Structure 1
């Protein structure tokens, strides 16, 4: 069994094209991602993108656990919690926890299979090489935690069990929604029939991947207004260079809707690895009334891509009611971490997060169907 760093010429097409993008400064592609990017080769045909970090406290959550558990959580409290007193108390508590986490070097880590997206699809893998992978990374980076993000129970329950058996800890992160049904079953959901009528009546014109080339600056603006302004600046701050390269190399398939004034009103960009589709780039005109259903336009593009390809769609988290009523299957997502080689004081921080997430966070997510 061989595990080593891959050479550029060895990589599969998609991983190679993605890797070439990040050979230069990562911040030219994602403004709030500063990381070292490499690719791990396992035996002859398994390749994992790897990001390596040390501190970078203001990085996006896609490679910063500190941001995910501290900075991003603060933003979520600010726009989700309406009660001012509760909001203030939670922020005070979170600030105390954040300082404690920071002292534990939470960002000194290596993420395996990290495409720097909110949801990283995995190749079909049974995990049998995990001990060799772990030993290799520990030998190369003995002071770094090893993290596999984006593993969910619906798709990866066996892989999660394999990693647990190899001394990895599972920390619950969020609930994602899986679309793994036929188009016939999907159409039985009354909401989908309503969505189809709304889209037909809207008068917006669907444009394909090639046509989207001229609308990419508008697409970036729609994404930023939704994910960075409405939600959190700690979402990935993609640049126009990133979106243009993804479009040109067809790493992401773009589709959108334009109005009679040639203005992009909604779009979706889907990313596929083997049998899994994700939709990491989405946007719609948040200034328009909700009754126009522009989010419906954007979300349905990814769902229809699932039916066209026959693959499974992981539509990530958020908009839980919308996704459930349209056939989305909820599934808890975990990060799997290897920490045995780290000092006790650093392991302690992660163990505290594990208790908070698995014993409090996950039950709340399930109870309130978040």
Structure 2
């Protein structure tokens, strides 16, 4: 029988790090979280973190916490589906007055109802505090014993597997659905397979490459160690984009997160610098599996002129990494027109939830949300390209 166990604050000392893949390295990431909380890595959160060991693999678990305060959407289905959606609709130009009125006045009641139905009692599986959490094709999470164990270990909580898409994660998606999981659509992302798509002949890609060739005073550096002073600048780049421009519900990462995710090799960081001054202009992290690459963390200097094309250069760099490593490029969500012009193919990303161990009234609530997801949310995402 496969070994399955959860390690929390009281039992973390019993985890045999030598018995798991890359255990000594991953320890640098996991131990601070379990001993403290998610707040040390994501400042706008405060959630209990535990570790699931399945055979020789480790997966982070985050435990939902009932609160009326708004928290980062990575830890809360209420924050993602109610708070974030409300913000997006009210701010967005793609929505009409009727849609905005419904969201403005109805969603606060939905938020209270969701809390009453225990929406926050959710355990997120494989939650690395990233918008996109990649899965290996041979992940042991697909085994039915894992979901059964989690339902028994957390009998009062929804069990949610974060960000599983229908393109690169189709095997895991189908397996979890077969085990009884409900797929809640959470976003539409874009996938580029350099082997199958003749994207390099697309005009925007050619223009991006020419832009880089004309850029003589910039270079990419893979970070081996963060400079303590410079890391503040890099976080400012990120926060200006994701927190100030978009939403305070996005993760507010700390310097500890950047250092731990790099030291544990969960992420590789690349900085775009000026040759003449060595000043950083942009930063992006690269997350990898055997088959896929993506970037869950980016930021750039918004004070620089737009004609420098920092975002275009960052995207080009990731495309080149995918080509060099012969991997699929998960472009994530957002900037739909930009990504489709550069070969991105849309597909849906899901949270797979397990609820059959919960009270009937709670199951009813989630089944209604699933029905809304299939009949309203997914068609809206397609039409609005979000």
Cross-structure match for 1:138: 151
Superposition map of 1:156-171 within 5 A: 156-171=169-184
Shift of 1:289: 4.0
Relative distance call for 1:190 and 1:307 in structure 2 (3 A) is same
Cross-structure match for 1:5: 6
Cross-structure match for 2:10: none
Contact 2:127 2:133 in 1 (8 A): yes
Relative distance call for 1:244 and 1:11 in structure 2 (3 A) is same
Shift of 1:28: 1.6
Shift of 1:312: 2.0
Cross-structure match for 1:330: 346
Shift of 1:321: 0.8
1:293 aligns with 2:309: yes
1:263 aligns with 2:279: yes
Deviates more, 1:109-118 or 1:195-204: 195-204
CA displacement, residues 149-206 of structure 1 (integer Å, 9 cap, x when unaligned): 1111112223222212211111111111112113983311111110112233344412
Distance 2:43 2:139 in 1: 34
Match of 2:31 among 20, 26, 41: 20
Superposition map of 1:20-169 within 5 A: 20-25=31-36, 26-42=38-54, 44-56=55-67, 57-81=69-93, 85-86=97-98, 87-125=100-138, 130-169=143-182
Cross-structure match for 2:11: none
Q: Structure 1 unaligned runs (5+)?
A: none
Distance 1:124 1:188 in 2: 30
Relative distance call for 1:354 and 1:196 in structure 2 (3 A) is same
Shift of 1:110: 1.0
Shift of 1:272: 1.7
Match of 2:365 among 349, 354, 366: 349
1:206 aligns with 2:233: no
Cross-structure match for 2:247: 232
Deviates more, 1:261-270 or 1:217-226: 261-270
Distance 2:16 2:123 in 1: 20
CA displacement, residues 48-67 of structure 1 (integer Å, 9 cap, x when unaligned): 22222232453211121010
Partner of 2:378: helix, strand, or coil? Answer: helix
Relative distance call for 1:301 and 1:163 in structure 2 (3 A) is same
Distance 1:173 1:318 in 2: 13
Contact 1:112 1:146 in 2 (8 A): yes
Aligned length: 369
Q: CA RMSD in A?
A: 2.4
Partner of 1:105: helix, strand, or coil? Answer: coil
Contact 2:39 2:45 in 1 (8 A): yes
Contact 1:169 1:336 in 2 (8 A): yes
Distance 1:289 1:89 in 2: 39
Shift of 1:238: 0.2
CA displacement, residues 89-143 of structure 1 (integer Å, 9 cap, x when unaligned): 4221222222221211111011111111101101223768532112211221110
Partner of 1:181: helix, strand, or coil? Answer: coil
Contact 2:28 2:260 in 1 (8 A): no
TM-score for the superposition, normalised by structure 2: 0.88
CA displacement, residues 1-21 of structure 1 (integer Å, 9 cap, x when unaligned): 222236251332264343134
TM-score for the superposition, normalised by structure 1: 0.91
Partner of 1:155: helix, strand, or coil? Answer: coil
Distance 1:319 1:82 in 2: 14
